[in-house]
Structure 1
Amino acid sequence: MIRVIGDIDAANADQLVDQFHQAAWCEWLVLDLTTVEFMGTAGLAALRAINARCAEGNVQWALVAGRAVSQLLAVCGHDQTFPTSESLTAALASVHKLPK
């Protein structure tokens, strides 16, 4: 699981992708963005890169988005693009294919 606290913007979005690459050998990933207060378009690009890499590597993943991230995804038309979950519990269940 990768948890991000604070902001995701052009200054640090690459760090998110780097953290993901360190965990890319995993069978599953939960990306917890519930405490992100701001996410810019660089953060959205990072999510697209993570999504593509997970698809290529057959990695089950789930995104738990807080209010700021959910708003950006909706405004940019990406609210259905990523495998989102309502809670960490639901995200963990989805990546492990357990009943929610």
Structure 2
Amino acid sequence: MTLAIHAIQPGTMRCYGNHAVFCGAAEVTAQSRHLATLLTVTGDVDAGNVESLYERTGCFVLPDTGIVLDLSGVTSFAIDGVRMIARIDEACRRAGIEWALVASRAVSDRLARTDTLYPFAASVPEALHGFADRIVNRRRVLLPFLTRTA
């Protein structure tokens, strides 16, 4: 089951499958992994496709599962792309979902000019490893409560 984290009404957009969706000069793919949903955007993010990219990436959120937004294949990143990332960040915080951003050089250069801090990861494996570490730490905290007897 997917949970839309933006204003798109359920059933108006297909939000499943691993096929690539073209949004102008960019391409979006989504993969549901055990630790997180991996959203990969490649190509050029510009003013003409940023809304479509947000709609496509914003609908792939699984409850209680993190999101890795992989922008490492983005070759150019317009100023409007910063707004897209801010909206995804806000929606994830509102839904209580952890997320990580893997950025290309073009994306990190653009985001370096803003004052906002995002949860960066150097690569997709590093982001997934971070999610796994947090799960292990939560389990470690809960384990003493599960072994106690009355």
Structure 1: gaps (5+ residues): none
- TM-score, normalised via structure 2 length: 0.59
- Indicate yes or no: 2:104 matched with 1:66: yes
Moved over 6 A (4+): none
- TM-score, normalised via structure 1 length: 0.86
Indicate the residue corresponding to 1:95 in structure 2.
Answer: 131
Structure 2: gaps (5+ residues): 1-37, 137-150
- Shift in Å at residue 98 of structure 1? 5.9
- Identify the structure with bigger relative contact order (alpha carbons < 8 Å, sequence gap 6+): 1
Question: Secondary structure in 2 aligned to 1:16?
Answer: helix
1:14-41 Cα deviation digits (max 9, x unpaired) = 1221122221344211010011011111
CA–CA separation in structure 2 for the residues paired with 1:39 and 1:30: 18
Correspondence list, 1:1-100, <5 A: 1-26=38-63, 27-78=65-116, 81-96=117-132, 97=134
Supply the AA of the counterpart residue of 2:118. Answer: F
Counting matched residue pairs gives 97
Identity score, percent: 31
Kindly indicate whether the alpha-carbon contact (under 8 Å) linking 1:62 and 1:94 is maintained by their aligned counterparts in 2.
no
CA–CA separation in structure 2 for the residues paired with 1:69 and 1:85: 13
